[in-house]
Amino acid sequence: MANNHLTSESKQLATWYFTFAAILFGAQLLFGLVAAIQYVMPGFLFEIIDFSIARILHINALVVWMVFAMFGSVYWLLPDETGIETVGIKIGKLLFWIFAAAIVVVVLVYLLVQVGPADETTIWFITEGREYIEAPRWADFGIVVVALGFVGNLFLTGMKGKQTGIVTVLMADMIAFSGLYLAGMFFTDNISVDQYWWWWVIHLWVEATWEVFVGAIAAYGLITMLGAHRKTVEMWLWIEVSMLFGSGILGMGHHYFWIGTPEYWWEIGALFSALEPLPLVAMFIHVLYDWGKTQGEQNAQGKDVSVINNKPAFTWFVLNAFGNFLGAGIWGFFHTLPQVNLYTHGTQFTSAHGHLAFFGAYATILIGMMYMGIQGSNGIKVMKNTKASIWAVSLITSGVVGMTVSLTIAGYVQVLVSRAQMGATWAAYFDGQSGMWFTQAMDWRLFMGAVTFAGFLFLIKDFLSTGKDAQHEH
């Protein structure tokens, strides 16, 4: 990403974060493909990159690229919102390199060392073995330092410059987001206790703090790309924030059904997690409403203000509204009641929801922010779609939706055969997995994964060629 048109150092730092995020996104997809091939051909890369390693790399790269892109998004919008350069930007830049170097080392250790003895040295130097946040403890401490620096930058800038509603929400949210990471850093011998705290990170990230972040970013996007009125947008933002925290925090109960926690979590989890789709509906309506409202509106000079100044970014933002609602709201609601979850727990259905939710709620809007970075770095006033940007969004979206459908079918087979008919025995597990519907679904998932990856290649091509593209007005 060329930085020649950026005058703000904060925005420059944002483009570094976006670039590293895009590279990790590619790594995520590659290891996802390896794992998907192994479902179809179990011997693939046997003892070189086993399924467990491919899976670790796939889902940790996912989380880390999203965190990078989220930090980047904050550094991108801070100067616009506060009206000043980010305070402590030099330290921010240094921390970026520390963060990036730590991640590279962690990935190399996953690839080259892979496993260690069953004692503390493995937790400290190889992996903590907690799904999604598997980084070894030395890296945890590095991440805490980087997060503290980032939150410090955000607070000092917010306090010195103009403090909009968006910045205020982000300040509160980023403290909670970073603080929750601590809950995944200590080790207990009791697996129930361990899982209990681990969900504080995973669930309270994706269903509370990250969703609030998305609300703030969507608000920023509506103001910058559509010229929506700040008063309306920020009013919605506050409503969404209160609804998200209201349902998302106790909604955590839907992960406490079967891990050895007290049974009152059934009622709490059922009630509050069932309410979780509501804020997602609100976010969905909010984006479409603001979009609709600006159609045909004219400013004092008679100029149409509904002209969207960044088409590719806006496309991804609208997809976010749909994807968040579908992936998290609908696919999440499907299995959130304990009566249903008893059958679906830990099946491919969970994976279907995981893919569509992470993609719909986060990948989409973060790719949108990357497009804002591309627009700014190249000094483009009105950014149009290109052939590559259209191929990218079409292939990535249809690929992920295709994977989701395949996984949903596979999950249905597991629910029916392994759980309902055969009663969740060891034999039932294998019967469910060897049936025709299941194996064909796994073939389709692999194919749709390849489609997703092809879309990613178009996305990178578009990022890299935008500056040279004559289609764009400067």
Contact partner, 328, from ligand HEM, Fe ion, none, Cβ < 5-8 Å per class: ligand HEM
Closest approach of Fe ion to the CB of residue 306, in Å: 37
Q: Does an H or E element contain 178, and which?
A: helix 165-180
Stretch 262-321 residues interacting with ligand HEM (CB under 6 A): 273, 276-277
Nearest CA among 281, 280, 320, 166 for reference residue 228: 166
C-beta separation of 312 from 371 below 8 A: yes
Stretch 177-206 residues interacting with Fe ion (CB under 5 A): 203
The long-range contacts involving 341-344, CB below 8 angstroms and separated by at least 24 positions, are 341/254, 341/257, 341/258, 342/257, 342/258, 342/419, 343/415, 343/419, 343/420, 344/411, 344/415, 344/419
Closest approach of ligand HEM to the CB of residue 139, in Å: 20
Closest approach of ligand HEM to the CB of residue 359, in Å: 4
User: Which distant-in-sequence residues (6+ apart) come within 8 Å of 7 by Cβ?
Assistant: none
**Cβ nearer to ligand HEM, comparing 255 with 286:** 255
C-beta separation of 448 from 40 below 8 A: no
The Cα–Cα gap between 356 and 368 comes to: 17
Contact partner, 59, from Fe ion, ligand HEM, none, Cβ < 5-8 Å per class: ligand HEM
Closest approach of ligand HEM to the CB of residue 289, in Å: 21
Contact partner, 353, from ligand HEM, Fe ion, none, Cβ < 5-8 Å per class: ligand HEM
Contact partner, 368, from ligand HEM, Fe ion, none, Cβ < 5-8 Å per class: none
The Cα–Cα gap between 76 and 15 comes to: 8
Instruction: Report, in angstroms and rounded to the nearest whole number, the Rg of the chain calculated over CA atoms.
Output: 22
C-beta separation of 286 from 240 below 8 A: yes
Nearest CA among 353, 366, 363 for reference residue 403: 353
Interface segment toward ligand HEM; rule CB under 6 A; list 121-129, 152-160, 324-332, 373-381? 324-332
Count, residues near ligand HEM per rule CB under 6 A: 41
Closest approach of ligand HEM to the CB of residue 460, in Å: 14
**Cβ nearer to Fe ion, comparing 203 with 286:** 203
The Cα–Cα gap between 199 and 197 comes to: 5
Can you spell out the DSSP letters for 434-451?
HSHHHHHHHHHHHHHHHH
Map residue 310 onto helix, strand or coil: strand
Stretch 52-71 residues interacting with ligand HEM (CB under 6 A): 55, 58-59, 62
Closest approach of ligand HEM to the CB of residue 344, in Å: 6
Closest approach of ligand HEM to the CB of residue 336, in Å: 4
C-beta separation of 356 from 377 below 8 A: no
Kindly state whether residue 341 participates in binding ligand HEM, applying the rule CB under 6 A: yes
Choose which of 15, 82, 195, 351 interacts with ligand HEM (CB under 6 A).
351
Count, residues near Fe ion per rule CB under 5 A: 2
Binding mask 207-246 for ligand HEM (x = CB under 6 A): x---------------------------------------
Stretch 414-453 residues interacting with ligand HEM (CB under 6 A): 449, 452-453
Kindly state whether residue 335 participates in binding Fe ion, applying the rule CB under 5 A: no
C-beta separation of 282 from 269 below 8 A: no
Provide the H-helix boundaries in 205-347: 210-226, 230-251, 264-275, 277-294, 311-323, 331-334, 338-344
Kindly state whether residue 33 participates in binding ligand HEM, applying the rule CB under 6 A: yes
Choose which of 18, 236, 358, 412 interacts with ligand HEM (CB under 6 A).
358
Contact partner, 165, from Fe ion, ligand HEM, none, Cβ < 5-8 Å per class: none
The Cα–Cα gap between 277 and 332 comes to: 8
Binding site residues, ligand HEM, CB under 6 A: 29, 32-33, 35-36, 39, 55, 58-59, 62, 131, 206-207, 254-255, 273, 276-277, 328-329, 332-333, 335-336, 341, 345-346, 350-351, 353-355, 357-359, 361, 363, 400, 449, 452-453
Binding site residues, Fe ion, CB under 5 A: 203, 207
